[in-house]
Structures are given as structure tokens and as C-alpha cells.
Structure 1
Amino acid sequence: MAEFQKKTLDMLRQPMESGRVTISRVHSTVTYPASFQLIGAMNPCPCGYLGSNVKYCSCTDKQVQSYRARVSGPVLDRVDILLHLIPVNLDREEEGTLSSEELRVQVERARERQYERYGAGVSNAKVPFDVLSECSPLTTSQRQMVAQVSSKQQWSNRVQIKIIRLARTISDLRESEVITDEALWEAMSLRRLNQSSSKLSAREL
């Protein structure tokens, strides 16, 4: 993503937020539907080796900051999941992983739960937030947890809402009627974009 011009990336803000894109010309303004799923990737730095255990990063701190700044905060705020990935051995079999067929069935069940909850063919990502909050309210301790971590991480209200939506979806995948503490922690850990770990521990509060 960082190889695109910053202006080009910032133009994604409107369709990512509203699912529509408006094109204005001298004589008319036209709005088109533009609901899409954005999947993007970028290196941790210009040379690509920041945090690597096998190669030395030759970038200065200023170069790293300038490179990452190409994707603005408002754009990142509109992304549901941010992950820092590390190299893995593709020959190693991962224990406990689900097959594509098992994942498909799990997702279909989660979707059906959402359709039944809201009484319409709408998902957690699209349902109005006040409806989601009414159907799946957070407990007092969960609200305090989100507020405390959000203050530490300087997360915007938009990010906090995305975390709650994501936690509701994780709970649906695990067939839970309520948003669980574990799902909330996992949703918050999926917003951590750093070089060391994508996990959030209680000790960091």
C-alpha cells in the first residue's frame, strides 16, 4: 500500500466509510455504490527487513517513519484488522488449523446467527452500531477494558466501534450468544500493528 501516492490512498476514505463513491464534475455530481473488501500489504520499512532475524535493516528511523506515513491514520482507522506478520516455515504442519471446508461451514453458521439476531440479511459489519449495542451490550467491565486500552493506544472512536463489531463476529464464530472477554481481547490484539508481536497482554494495561 505504501507504494501508492498518499493522495490516492486517502481517496479510499469515503467509499470505505459509506460504501459509496461520489464523483463531482463541473455540470453534475454522481454517486455510485462502492461496497468492497480492502486487503492490503506493505513492508515494515523501505528495505523490507526491519525486525528480520536473518537480514539487517539499513533504514534510518526517519526513513521508516516517512515510509509508514504514506498510509495515513484516517485510512488505517477504517481498516478492521491490522496484523504484523512474521516469516513461517511452509513445510511445517500447523496443529489445530481448520480446513477451508470447516472454515466455510463456521462462517456460514456465524452469518446465519447474525441474520437471525437482526431480523434481516445484514452482518455485524453493516448493521447500525446502536442496533448492535442493543442486541449485544458490553458489560461494565468490558466497557472499562476497551476504554483503558483505547486510551493507552490512542484509538479513535471509529476504531473502538470496529473493535466491538469484530469482537461480536469472533463470538459468533464461536457460537456465543454474548460478546465474550476472550473475543474482545482478541479483537483488540488484531489492532496492534508493531514489530514485536500482534498479541495484547494484560500486563500492558
Structure 2
Amino acid sequence: MSLALIYSRALEGLTAQAVSVEVHLANGLPAFNLVGLPEAEVKESRERVRAAMAVAGFEFPARRITVNLAPADLPKSSSHFDLPIAVGILAASGQLAGADLTHFEFAGELGLTAGLRPVRGAIALARAATEAGRILILPAQSAPEAALYPGADVRAASSLQDICRFFTHKQPLPAAVAPSWFAPPEYPDLLDVRGQQQAKRALEIAAAGQHSLLLVGTPGTGKSMLAQRLPGLMPPMGIDQALETAAVRSLTRKGLDVSQFGLRPYRAPHHTASAPALVGGGSNPQPGEISLAHNGILFLDELPEFDRKVLEVLREPLESGEVNISRAAHAVTFPARFQLIAAMNPCPCGYLGHPKRACRCTPDQIARYKAKLSGPFLDRLDMAVDVPAVSDTTLMGAADGETSAAIALRVAAAHHRALTRQGKANAALNTREVDEYCQPEEAARELLHSALQRLNLSARSFHRVLKLARTIADLAQSDTISAAHVAEAIQYRRGLG
């Protein structure tokens, strides 16, 4: 009997749990058994490993082989178990004589020619290996992504032969080098949007405090243009946020484009998207649009055209910043602290309140259209602003307002004030932190009291007004929240009912 014990990693959300790969060789009829809740793609590794070892010039043991993936109660998916299984068989059969595998982690899919193919979740794997104090060996195509994690010791291999030469002949595996951060792309300029000064101001406030925003206006007034220019106003992400965002993208079928590392995501799903497409799901849960927009922007155009049940699933993530996906076998938690920007028409035909075109909708049709957005959902939004039709003179005139670069400087300064004061964006403040950091002046307090009575604001709306006012004060470089700041914040809540 011979036994090889090495470690791989199984992804569970954005974490990678240690999985020991135990290879046991015994006398008897030749067989290759995989145990430990392997899913279909893991079971198929038997044929890939067998073919890869033969092509690489190794002997596949003609004995009874048992590969145990422990812990047994964790479902194992992904083809990245191919490499640790192959290395375990080679070690157990004595073909890696003298190899010390105790300080290494392995992950990689094997091709039939013994070449290594990339795997998903490289950053999560690097994080887990680094925390365990181990060296991570990955396919050459996945290694640069894993090297983005600070302090990770990642080695790149192109084939199974490379790894065997590393352990038996001491031929070094090259250390993976993280790609350098790329310059941000050229975002569309806010100066391109004619008029709409109030909407531009709301967009600046939303960017500074990372508040959610609803744009309401007739077709062609610039709602989508405004939303597309928000990424150009946002402050840059820190390294921790960039790693979180990259880890989520790495788990998807498409994988991470390392050239996008450090850039805030901008997701704009079509209104036919299902609830699992937005929040994530599947038998082996995958992140949805709200998690892919983590630390970035989720733009929902034609908001009432989304199924009401789809919009309702956003209520909890908007509050908690994460989504819990529960299945019969296990549960997964994905981060989902996204900034929601939405756009809608004022009525089904879209021309209610238009200065030149008459609305054809009946009052009942308008009421049903607006009723597609529930009160609890609207109560979780921070701001709503009208985007009216612009005049012919404004449309044909020269560009007005400020450039995105000028506004981004103010946004960055306001965001820095918030981070210095409380360590997070104003929109992320909890109730206790609102009481600590968002105390208004006496005149502002009286105005808030009047607004509570006249507008019937809920407790949640009251706190959102305070957080908005705090952001407005930060943009004005004010340490205190004045009545003017509160008054401007209140007007952005009026459109939410």
C-alpha cells in the first residue's frame, strides 16, 4: 500500500476551502474510484488524468486506485482537481521519488496532451494558499491573475511534465508576475449631455456618496447618457476593493480580464433578465449581475419593464450589501455592494409632461405602470430626479456645464473626507453611524422635523435623507450639516413617494 496526501482548494463563494486529495493504491483488479461528493466534471478527471499521464511518459498504475476528496460533505466541482489528482497518483506510485509536497497547493485542468488549461477563481485560490503559508502551482494562463493577490507565491506551469521536472530534477518553475495596473479607459464626458443641470448635480452627489439614483423622464432626454457617464465621476478603488471585485469576476465562466483590474464594474442587464440572473444561482451557485457589479454600478434601464418579482429580490442586497444563495446541498454568500442607477419613463407611452407631445395614457394605465415599483423597493432608493425634455435652443447650442474631470475632482475630495471621517462611503453608514456622523445643525433639525410630518417619511427614508445631506455637506467642504444641505437632500426624496 502507498498513500499520497496533497492539498487542493474548493471554491465556496469567494473563499477557497482546503480539500485534501488522498490517493490510495491497493492490490486487486485495476480500478479508478473517486469519492467525496465529486460532481460530473470532477468524475470525468479520471479519463483526463489517465490520458495525460500516458502522453507525459508516466506509467498509470495497474492497481486499485482510490482518490478521496475530503471533507466528504463538501460537494466538489470544477476541473481544477485534475492536477492534484495526477500529482497524487504520481507521488503514491513512486514516480515522484523524494518530492516534498507538504508546502504546495495545486489547481489546474489537464488536457489529453498533458498540457495545463486555465481555471476559474485564481485570486480566491491565491488568497487561501497565502493564508495557509503554501506555494500555489497553477497553469501558466491563470498564474498572472493569482499573482495579483499581495504576498502570494505563485508558480506557473505549462504542462504536467514541467511540474514533475520541478520536483524530481529541481528545474525551477517561473514565479508568476502580476500584470501592471492599466490606465483607466476614456469614459464618455458629462459635458456631452446638453442641459439637465439638476440631473448632473444629482449624479455628482450619487458618485460622491455612492447613493442609488432613479432618473425619470420622457424618451430621448439623456437618462442613459447620464448613467453611462457615472463611472467617469467615481473615485478610484483601493486595492482591497479591486481584489474583491476581481475575485467575483474570476468565478464566472468568462473569467477575469486582468486589463480591467482596478476598474469599477458597470453592468447593464436587459429588462428580460430573470431573478437568478440578477442575484445569482444554479445548482452550483454562480454570482449574478448584482455581485458582478460589486463596488461598481448596476444600471437598470426601463425599470418598470423588469418583472416585479425580479426587482423585489434586490431589496435585501440593497440594504445588506451581500446576497445569500441557499440550495439543498449548501449555501453560498456573494458580496453585492453595488450602486443602483435606474431609469424609467413617466408613463407607458413615455410622454407624460412632455412640452410638445401629448400623453395617450389613461390615469388607470399610468397608475398601473407606476405600481410595478413597490413602495418597499422605492423606499430603499436614495434619490429620484426628473430629466425633462430640453429646449431646441439648448440642444443646438454649445456644450454647457462642467467636464467629467472637473466634477471627478470634487467627488474624489468629498469621498476622501468621508473615508477619513468614518472609513466608508456615506451610503454604507448604518443606523448607529448615522447618529454619530450625520448630526444636523439646529435649523436643519427643525426642517427635518417638518419634512417628516409633511412628507410622511419612513424611518429608513429619514436616515437616507441624513446620509444624502452628509454627502452634500462633504461636497461643500463643510464639517456640519446645514439647513441648505438638508433642503437639497429632501427634494431628491420627494420623487420616491
- Normalised by the size of structure 2, how large is the TM-score? 0.37
Matches within 5 A, 1:38-117: 38-88=340-390, 89-93=394-398, 97-117=401-421
Q: In structure 1, what is the Cα distance between the partners aligned to 2:367 and 2:482?
A: 36
1:38 is paired with a residue whose SS is strand
Structure 1 counterpart of 2:463: 161
Shift of 1:91: 2.9
Show structure 2 runs of 5+ residues with no match. 1-302
Matched residue type, 1:70 = K
Please list, as runs of the form range in 1=range in 2, the aligned pairs for 1:182-193 lying within 5 A after superposition: 182-193=484-495
Are 1:18 and 2:323 matched, yes or no? no
Contact 2:426–2:471 (Cα < 8 Å) also in 1: yes
Compute the displacement of 1:126 (Å): 1.4
The one-character-per-residue Cα deviations of 1:105-148 (angstroms, maximum 9, x if unpaired) are: 10111111112212x3x121113332233234123432232122
* Shift of residue 28, structure 1, vs aligned partner: 2.5
How many pairs align?
191
- Measure, in 1, the Cα distance between the counterparts of 2:398 and 2:484: 26
* Counterparts in 2 of 1:92 and 1:74: CA distance versus 1, 3 Å: farther
Q: Distance in 1 between the 2:450 and 2:369 partners?
A: 30
Picking from 430, 445, 461, the partner of 1:143 is: 445
Report if aligned partners of 2:444, 2:484 keep a CA contact under 8 Å in 1.
no
Q: Per-residue displacement from partner, 1:157-197 (whole Å, max 9, x unpaired)?
A: 11111111011001100101101211111111111228xxx
One-letter amino acid of the counterpart of residue 421, structure 2 = R
Following the alignment from structure 1 to structure 2, what is the Cα–Cα distance between the partners of residues 125 and 143?
Answer: 20
2:356 and 2:419 map into 1 onto residues whose CA distance is: 47
Distance in 2, Cα, partners of 1:161 & 1:90: 38
More helix by share: 1
The one-character-per-residue Cα deviations of 1:29-55 (angstroms, maximum 9, x if unpaired) are 322111111111111111111111111
Structure 1 gap segments, 5+ residues each: 195-205
- Change in CA separation of 1:94 and 1:190 when aligned onto 2, cut-off 3 Å: farther
* Aligned partner letter, 1:145: L
CA distance in 2, matches of 1:60, 1:139: 45
Task: Verify the 8 A CA contact 2:441 2:483 in the aligned structure 1.
Answer: no
Identity %: 38
Q: For residues 16 and 43 of structure 1, what CA distance do their matches in structure 2 show?
A: 23
Structure-to-structure mapping, 1:121-140, within 5 angstroms: 122-140=424-442
1:94, 1:165 → 2: CA distance?
32
Q: Which is worse superposed, 128-137 or 42-51?
A: 128-137
**Structure 1 CA distance, aligned partners of 2:467 and 2:448?**
13
- Structure 2 distance, partners of 1:191, 1:92, is 32
Q: Which of structures 1 and 2 has the bigger CA Rg?
A: 2
Give me the TM-score of the superposition, normalised by structure 1. Answer: 0.86
In structure 2, the residue matched to 1:35 is 337
In structure 1, the residue matched to 2:284 is none
Cα distance in 2 for partners of 1:162, 1:16 equals 13
The answer to whether the Cα contact below 8 Å between 2:415 and 2:425 also exists between their aligned partners in 1 is: yes
**Equivalent residues of 2:349, 2:361 under 8 A apart:** yes
Instruction: Give the partner amino acid of 2:397.
Output: R
